[in-house]
Amino acid sequence: MYKIGKVQKKILISLFGGVALGLSHSPRQYFATLSVIHKDWQKINQRSFARSLKRLSQEKLIKECKMPNGSYKLVLTAEGKKIAHQLDLFGSVKTFIKPKKWDGKWRIVIFDIPENDRVFRDILRKHLYTLEFKQLQQSVFVSPYPCEKTILDLVRLYNAGKYVRVITASDIDNASDLKKHFFKKVK
């Protein structure tokens, strides 16, 4: 698998957004999603767009389907959907905003992922570091920030629910050290 460029990411996420449009349950949700997709398409250079489409097609992440009326439509392959969903997840991590006030809860992620799923284990660790989790032990990470949904979405994407637990706790024995790490001061 090669590195996916900026334009290719936009194409994949935009096509993935089409799936989101189809799953919209309300007109408000539909138009909000459509607005985001429209803004992304306006930013794409046409030459880069053509090169990116060709490359995504070569990598079998998208396919071209001929319609009965003679037009063509682009469709994500199963692998393309998986990658687009990952990109969408990682994009949501980058836009994650820490709350101004801590709710007093610790988010603890523990996992025991088998060696044959090492790729997911590495992805999960990278994701946890991106979300600024602190590693307590080999497979135990902690954070004061409410990002359980993002972690659980990633776990669901990889069908790894039986290997990963997300715990929300009100107390932890080394809380003062963790507060120093995350908040840089303790009262």
Residues 78-91: tens digit of each pLDDT: 888 777 766 665 55
**Beta strands 106-111 and 164-169, pairing class:** antiparallel
> What is the maximum alpha-carbon separation in the chain?
69
Whole-model pTM: value is 0.55
Q: Which of 94, 118, 146 is the last residue of a domain?
A: 94
- The whole-number pLDDT of residue 154 equals 75
62: phi then psi, degrees, rounded to nearest 5: -135, 160
Distance CA 121, CA 106 (A): 22
Domain, as residue range, for 179: 106-183
Residue 122 and residue 81 in one domain:
no
Residue 150 and residue 85 in one domain:
no
Count of structural domains within the chain: 2
Residue 44 and residue 77 in one domain:
yes
19: phi then psi, degrees, rounded to nearest 5: -65, -40
Residues 33-69: tens digit of each pLDDT: 566 666 656 767 778 878 888 888 888 888 888 889 8
Residue 80 and residue 32 in one domain:
yes
Residue 88 and residue 10 in one domain:
yes
Residue 11 and residue 90 in one domain:
yes
Residues 143-180: tens digit of each pLDDT: 999 988 888 877 876 778 899 999 999 999 999 999 99
Say which residue, 114 or 97, is predicted with more confidence: 114
Read off the CATH number of the domain in which 41 is found.
1.10.10.10
- Amino acid at position 59, single letter: E
